[in-house]
Structure 1
Amino acid sequence: MNAPEPKISAARPVIRQLDEAAINRIAAGEVVERPASAVKELVENALDAGATRIAVDYADGGKTLIRVTDDGCGMSAEDLPLALSRHATSKIDGSDLLNIHSFGFRGEALPSLGSVGRLTITSRVAGGDAASVTVAGGRMGAVRPAALTRGTVVELRDLFYATPARLKFLRSDRAEATAIAEVVRRLALAEPAVAFTLRDMTGGGEGRVMFRADAGNGDFFDALRDRVGGVLGADFIDNALRVDVEREGLRLSGYAALPTYSRGSSVQQFVFVNGRPVLDRMLLGALRVAYFDFLSRDRHPAAVLNVECDPERVDVNVHPAKAEVRFREPEAVRSLLISGLRTALSGAGHRASSTVADATLAAFSAPQGAARVYQMDRPSGAALSRGFAFQAPLQPVQAGFAEAPSARVEPVAEAADLTARPLGAARAQVHENYIIAQTERGMVIVDQHAAHERLVYERLKRQMAETGVTAQALLIPEIVDLSPNDAARLLEHADELRRFGLTVEPFGGSAVAVREVPAILGTVPAAALLRDVLDELADLGTSQLVQAKVEAVLSRMACHGSIRSGRQMRADEMNALLREMEATPHSGQCNHGRPTYVELQLADIERLFGRR
C-alpha cells in the first residue's frame, strides 16, 4: 500500500515572495521564544545605548506587559521608524561581522517584537524633543510628540496576540517570571557598573520589587564582588576565589567558589564572553573539567567568569539568540580556563568553605525548655575566679608557698606556638577519628582519615606527574570497529590519550587498534573504554575519562594507604598531619569533595553557650 506523501502535491509548487509581516513573524520565532527572550533583547539594547540605570517591569509573567526604561542616549523622532525596520541597526555598518563590540547587531529584535505584540517606543535624545511610535501586529503608526525626560521607554503589551498559537506553548506565569528574573540576573552580573531594578506589576499599582542591584563602585573586581554578593548571596562571595589570568591575548577574570561550596545543580554557573552572557557547551565543559578531581559527579562548581579576547577571535553570529559562540582557537580558551581555575584552587591551599562551619553550628541546639540567661544574671569575672578556686582539688601545701597551686594546666611552649598556625595545635583525639586542634581564633575539628587520604592522593599524583603513567602493552592488540566519524575523532585526540597510557592507532578503514592500556587499570575491556571516551568527546569536545579512571585507582590506593578510622594517634602525629595539610593544596576537601575539617570561631562557640 502506497501512502501519499503529504509534502508533494500533484501541481507544480509556486515560488512566491513572503510579505514583510510574515517575514517578521518567522524571525520572531527565532529571536523571541518567550517573554524572557524579549526582556533580554530590550535590556541589551539599553546597555548598548550606554544606560547606567535600567528598570524592567512585567505583568502576568511578561505575557501582558513588558516595559524596559533606561537613561541611555535615546533616539530622535527620525530614528524611530528606522529602528522598527528589519535589519536596521546602529551597532555595525555591515562591513565586518566579526569585529562586534556590542550586545545586539542583527537589527531583528524590535521589528520581531512589533510583529507579534503591541509595541510602543518613547525616546528622547539630549537636546531634542521626545517622540513616540506604536506598532501592533506589524502595522506601524505615525510618530507623535511625547513627554520624557531622557533615555528610552519600550513597552510591549499582549505578547504573541498576533500569533495566538504561540501562547499555548508558554508556561505558567510563575515559570515565565522566573525566567525573566534569571535573564536580568545574568545581565546584571555582566554589567556590575549598571543599576538594575525588576518589578512585578501584576494586579496594577506600583508593583512589587523582585530584584534590585545598585551600581558597583571601585575597579572591576570590587564592582563585580559587590554585584556577585548581591545576586548570588554573601555565602558565595565569602567562599569564592579571585581569578585573573592572561595568556596569548586571552584573559580570564571573575570569581570561582571553593570545591566544598559545590551545588547540587549548575544554577550558579555564569560564563561570559567579552561581557556577553553565553551558554557555551565547551566553556561549561572546561569548567567541569577544572573541578573534576575535587567533586563527585553529582556535585557542580559555582563560578562567575568572563573570557576576554579580541572580538575577531570569536564569532557571536552563530545563532539569532546569540547565546552560542564559536572561538577561532577553542583549545587555547579551554586550556586557559582549566589552568587558570586550577591555579586559583591550588592557591587556596587547605582552605575550606565557611558554609561547612555554618552547617556545623546549625547542628548544635540548646536543650529544649532551657531558660534564657541574660547578661545581667551572670556572675562577675571576680566571682567566677573565686568559684573556680573553691572547686579546685585540694593539694598539699609545699613549704615556702602560702597559696595552693592553680588547677589550670599551662600548655607547653611548643603547643602555644602552634596555635598561631592556620590549623592550630592538636589538643585531643575523640572517637579515634577526629582531631581537636586549638587556634588563636577558635578550634578546628579534623577528620583524620579523610585528611590523610587527600594528602596521600596528592602525593601519588605528584609521583605520577614526575614519572608518567606506566603503559601495559597488549600481547595481541585489540581491534575495535567504529564509525568513520568516531574513528577520526578518537585519532584526533590520540596524543592526549597516550599521555595517560592509552595508545590507539589506525588499523585501516574505520577500525582502530588498541596497543597499550594504563597498567594501573589492570584488565580493561578496550572496546567499552573507547566508546565511553567517544561519548565524552561528543559531549564536551574533550575527554578526561582515561585520566579520571587512572586517578580513581590512585584515589582507592590513597584510601587504603591512609590513616584508618579507629587508630589512636600521638600528639606529634596529629600535629604532623595538621602541618602537612597546611602545606598541601586542596587538602580542605577529600577525594570526593567532602570537607576534611571544620573551623569554629571562638565568638560562635561562645554564642552557642549564651556567653554573647
Structure 2
Amino acid sequence: MPIRQLPAQLIDQIAAGEVVERPASVIKELVENSLDAGATRIEIEVDGGGLRRCLVRDDGCGIPRDELALALSRHATSKITSLEDLERVGTLGFRGEALPSIASVSRLSVTSRPVGADDAWQVESDGSRLGSPVPAAHPQGTTIVVRDLFFNTPARRRFMRAERTELSHVERVVRRLALSCFTTGFRLSRDGKVLFDLRPAADPAARLRRLGEVCGELFAAQSMDIDQGAAGLRLTGWLGLPTFSRSQPDLQYFFVNGRMIRDRLVTHAMRQAYADVLFHGRHPAYVVYLEMDPALVDVNAHPTKHEVRFRDARSIHGFLYRAVEQALAGTRPAAGSAPPPATPRFASEADSSAWTGPARQDAMRFAAREPVPPESSWPAFTGAGSDDDVHDRSQAAQDDTPTLGYALGQLGGIYILAQNRDGLVIVDMHAAHERVLYERLKHSLSGSGAPGQPLLVPISLRVSTTEAELAEAFAPDLAQFGFELDRRGPDVLVVRQVPALLQSADTESLLRDILSDLAEQGSSRRLEERINQLLGTMACHGAVRANRQLTVAEMNALLRDMEQTERADQCNHGRPTWTQLSVPELDKLFLRGR
C-alpha cells in the first residue's frame, strides 16, 4: 500500500484508543481539566456505568466563546507554550488531546461561562461534526456532557464490562482524585443517586475526615502522619501502621506534585521500607505525596500520564526508603502514642510464642534497669463505690509513669500484664523481646559493618559488561557488608570474601540478584535483607519463650527496653507486641456506671 496521510477523524480515534480506555478514563481527563481550571467544587454524574452518559460540572475559570471550538481541536492547550514549559509541567493536563479524543468517539457538549462574563456559550460535537457556539444558561464554570461513548467504534464498545464494573472503575478514579486535591469538593452520582459528597477540606482535621471517607475509617484510625524533607524533596501524607497490612496492594496511593502515579521504583522503595515490620506476603497501606522540582520528573512518559520518569531515580528511591523507614522506626511505646489494635487483623500460623511444650531455653538474665517502685506509688484505679458515680481519676500524680507502666505479673506463660496511667497493658513477651534483640543485633553491625569471611578458593563468575561495571562502581558499598570482589577482564568478577553470616549461602546467585537490582533500581538491599533475615532468626531463637517464668524485675526491664527500641510496636514478623485496655473500656466490659 502507498504511504498516505491519515484522515483527521481517524487520527483522533487512534489517539482516543490511547487516552480513552473506558468511562473512568473520560472522567479522569475531564476532572483533571477542572482541577487545572481552579475549581473548588466538582460534580460528576454517570448513567449506565458511564457508557450512556458522563457529566462533569465545575466552578472553575471557564472557557471564552472564541476558544470553545479550539478546545475541541487537537494539540490545543493553554497550559504550555514552549519546550521550557514542557520540561517543567505543573498541571495535570497539558497534551491538548483529551477533549478532541473523547469527542471523536462520543456525542459531546461543552457549556461554559468564564469568570466575569455575562453570558454562557455551548458547543456540541457529534463524532466528526463540530457545531458553532450557541448561547446557553450556565453559572460560572464549565459543564461537559459525554453521551453514547464509543457509539461510532462498536469494536471498542464490545470490550466494555458490565455497568457495575465500569461504575466501580469510575468511583475508584474519583476517590483517587479526591485524595489529590483536598481543597476541592467532589460529588459523585450514579443514575440520579448520590454515592458520596466530599466537602472541601482545608484544615488537618477536615483532611483526616476525607481520608476516612475515601480510604475507610479504620485506615484513618490506624495510620501515622509523615512529613520528611531533604535535598529539595518533601514527603507528606499517611502511612498505615504495620498491623494494618493488606493481602493485596489495593490501598496504596502515591502522588507526585499532585499527580496520581503508579511506578515500580516507588513501590519497591515503599515495600523495602516496610520490610522489617510486615508479615511475608502482606502489603502496606499508605497515602503519600512527594513534592519536588517539576524539572526533575518527566510526566510526559505515557499517554495516560499514570507513569513518570525521574531524572535521578536512585536518589528518589533512597529518599523514599529513608523517609518511610525513619517514620516507621518511631512505632514504639512512647508518651501519647496509640497502641496497636487489640484485635490483630491477621495471625501467623508459625507463631513461635504459641509454643506450649516444656521450656528448654537456658536461663536468661534481664538487667533490672531501675528499682521497682513500691506498690503505693503505682497508678491506681480510683473509683467510687456507687454505680452512679463512675470514676474520678486524677492524673496529676501519674505524670511520671512510663508509657508501658509497671509489671503486675504473667498470664498463661505468654503475656506480661502491666499497669500504666491509662489502665491495663498486655505485652506478648516473646514478640517484644524478639524485637529488642533484633534491633540490638542490627545496631551492633551498623557501626563497623558486617564481618567478612575470606574464601580459601576465590569464586570466579562471568557476567555481562554492564554488570561488571556496576560491580566495580559499587564495590565500596558491597565491602560494607563483607563482600570483596575484583574485576578481571571486561566480563569476569572474582569474589575473594563473602559476609560471614552468609558464608553458607549461594554466593553466585546472591551476587547476580544484587547486580540485577542495581541495574534496574540503581540500588540494592538484598545483602542487608539476607543478613537481617539471619539476625531475625537469631533474635527469634534467643528471645524468651512461652512458659518461661520471669521475675517482676525482669518484666519491668523488658518494658523499659521496649520503650527505648525502634519499631517495638511490632515484632520483626509484623505481629503486634502490646496493646492497651483503658479503664473506660474495662468499665464497659463490667457494665460499670449503668
* 2:259 alignment partner AA: R
Does the 8 Å contact 2:314/2:521 carry over to 1?
Answer: no
2:16 alignment partner in structure 1:
28
Contact 1:419 1:425 (8 Å CA) reproduced: no
The match for 1:174 is: 164
> 1:243-294: CA deviations, max 9, x gaps?
1122111111112122222222221211111111111211121111111111
Matched residue type, 1:286? A
CA separation in 2, counterparts of 1:180 and 1:146?
A: 28
- Residues 11-22 of structure 1 mapped to structure 2, 5 A cutoff: 13-22=1-10
2:33 aligned to 45, 53, 58, which one?
A: 45
1:547 aligns with 2:528: yes
Q: Contact 2:243–2:344 (CA<8 Å) still a contact in 1? A: no
Pair 581,502 (structure 1): closer, same or farther in 2 beyond 3 Å: same
**Structure 2 equivalent of residue 398 of structure 1:** none
CA distances 1:171-198 after superposition (whole Å, capped 9, x unpaired): 2222221111111111111101110011
Residue type at the aligned position of 1:506: R
Q: Check whether the contact 1:261–1:353 (CA below 8 A) recurs between aligned residues.
A: no
| 3-state SS of 1:135 partner | strand
- The letter for the 1-side match of 2:199 is D
Structure with larger Rg? 1
Secondary structure of the 2:342 match is: helix
Distance 1:134 1:358, change over 3 A: same
Q: In 2, Cα distance between the equivalents of 1:413 and 1:514?
A: 64
In the alignment, structure 1 residue 413 sits paired with structure 2 residue 382: no
Q: 1:277 to 1:299 in 2, by over 3 A?
A: same
Work out whether 1:308 is the aligned partner of 2:298. no
The range that moved more, 225-234 or 26-35, is 225-234
Separation in structure 2 between the aligned mates of residue 428 and residue 521 of structure 1, nearest angstrom: 40
- Kindly indicate whether the alpha-carbon contact (under 8 Å) linking 1:433 and 1:566 is maintained by their aligned counterparts in 2: yes
> Is 1:434 aligned to residue 424 of structure 2?
no
Q: Take 2:288 and 2:205, find their aligned partners in 1: how far apart are those partners?
A: 14
What corresponds to 1:10 in structure 2? none
Q: Which moved more, 1:538-547 or 1:239-248?
A: 538-547
* TM-score, scaled relative to structure 2: 0.87
Aligned to 2:94: 105
Instruction: Decide which of 89, 106, 111 is 1:117's aligned counterpart.
Output: 106
* Whole-angstrom CA distance in 2 between matches of 1:210 and 1:503: 60
- The answer as to whether partners of 1:418 and 1:424 remain within 8 angstroms in 2 is no
Per the TM alignment, residue 43 of structure 1 is displaced from its structure 2 partner at its CA by: 0.3
| Greater Cα shift, 327-336 or 446-455 | 327-336
- Could you report, residue by residue, the CA deviation over 1:78-101 in whole angstroms, capped at 9, with x for unpaired residues? 111000000000111134211211
**Amino acid of the residue matched to residue 74 of structure 1?**
G
Q: Which whole-Å CA distance do the structure 1 matches of 2:95 and 2:399 have between them? A: 63
Superposition pairs of residues 342-361 of structure 1, within 5 angstroms: 342-350=325-333, 356-358=341-343
- Cα distance in 2 for partners of 1:147, 1:52 equals 20
The range that moved more, 318-327 or 14-23, is: 318-327
Match of 1:387 in 2: none
| 8 Å Cα contact 1:258-1:353 kept in structure 2 | no
Residue 239 of structure 1 and its aligned partner are, at CA, apart by 2.5
CA distance in 1 between counterparts of 2:69 and 2:238 reads 43
| Correspondence 1:467 to 2:448 | yes
SS in 2 for 1:505: strand
The one-letter amino acid of 1:306's match is Y
What's the % identity of the aligned pairs?
A: 45
Instruction: Map Cα deviations across residues 337-383 of structure 1 (whole Å, 9 max, x no partner).
Output: 222122222233236866622559xxxxxxxxxxxxxxxxxxxxxxx
* Deviation, structure 1 residue 493: 4.2
Measure how far apart 1:479 and its partner are.
Answer: 2.1
Report whether the alignment pairs 1:594 with 2:583: no
Deviates more, 1:475-484 or 1:19-28: 475-484
Q: Which amino acid aligns with 1:279?
A: R
Q: CA deviation at 1:522?
A: 2.5
Q: Which piece of structure 1 moves more, 230-239 or 570-579? A: 230-239
Map 1:90-489; keep pairs closer than 5 Å: 90-96=78-84, 97-126=86-115, 127-201=117-191, 207-218=192-203, 221-350=204-333, 356-358=341-343, 412-416=375-379, 420-489=401-470
Relative to structure 2, which stretch is displaced further, 190-199 or 502-511? 502-511
Deviation at 1:552?
0.7
1:192–1:216 contact (8 Å) kept in structure 2:
yes
Match of 1:377?
none
Identify if the C-alpha distance between structure 1 residues 353 and 517 changes in structure 2 by more than 3 Å, giving closer, same or farther: farther
* Distance across 1 between alignment mates of 2:47 and 2:469: 52
| Structure 1 residue 541, shift from structure 2 partner | 4.8
Q: What is the correspondence of 1:597-608 to structure 2 with a 5 Å cutoff?
A: 597-608=578-589
* Aligned counterparts of 2:48 and 2:519: Cα–Cα separation in 1: 40
Q: Residue 588 of structure 1 aligns to which amino acid in structure 2?
A: D
CA contact (8 A) 2:436 2:562 kept: yes
Q: How far apart in 2 are the matches of 1:489 and 1:65?
A: 54
| Aligned mates of 1:98, 1:478 — CA distance in 2 | 47
Matched-pair contact (CA < 8 Å) for 2:340–2:569: no
User: Hey, what's the Cα distance between the residues in 1 that align with 2:128 and 2:285?
Assistant: 43
| Structure 2 counterparts to residues 433-582 of structure 1, below 5 A | 433-489=414-470, 491-534=472-515, 536-537=517-518, 540-582=521-563
Whether 1:64 and 2:52 are equivalent positions in the alignment is yes
Q: Deviations over 1:539-579 (max 9, x none)?
A: 65532211111011111111121112110011111111111
Query: Which position in structure 2 is the counterpart of 1:404?
Result: none
Note closer, same or farther for the CA distance 1:358–1:421 as it changes in structure 2 (3 Å cut): same
Matched residue count? 544
Contact 2:340–2:578 (CA<8 Å) still a contact in 1?
no
Query: In structure 2, what is the Cα distance between the partners aligned to 1:535 and 1:179?
Result: 35
- Alignment-derived partner of residue 361 in structure 2: none
**Structure 1 residues 561-570 or 80-89, which shifts more?**
561-570
Unmatched segments (≥5 aa) in structure 2: 346-372, 380-397
* Alpha-carbon shift at residue 533 of structure 1 (Å): 3.0
Secondary structure (helix, strand or coil) at the match of 2:276 reads coil
User: Higher RCO, 1 or 2 (CA under 8 Å, sep at least 6)?
Assistant: 2
With over 3 angstroms needed to count, the CA separation of the structure-2 counterparts of 1:232 and 1:567, relative to structure 1, is same
- Contact 2:47/2:54 (CA < 8 Å) preserved in 1? yes
1:537, 1:171 → 2: CA distance?
A: 40
Equivalent position amino acid for 2:432 in 1? A
Q: Which amino acid aligns with 1:312?
A: A
1:47-101 Cα distance to aligned partner (Å, 9 max, x none): 0000000011112221111111111111122111000000000111134211211
- Tell me how far apart the structure 2 counterparts of residues 485 and 175 of structure 1 sit (CA, whole Å): 45
Q: CA deviation at 1:113?
A: 0.1
Moved more, 43-52 or 271-280: 271-280
Q: Say which SS state the counterpart of residue 477 (structure 1) adopts.
A: strand
CA distance in 1, matches of 2:519, 2:23: 32
- Once residues 129 and 571 of structure 1 are traced to their aligned partners in structure 2, the CA distance between those partners, rounded to angstroms, is 80
1-side partners of 2:309 and 2:159: how far apart?
A: 30
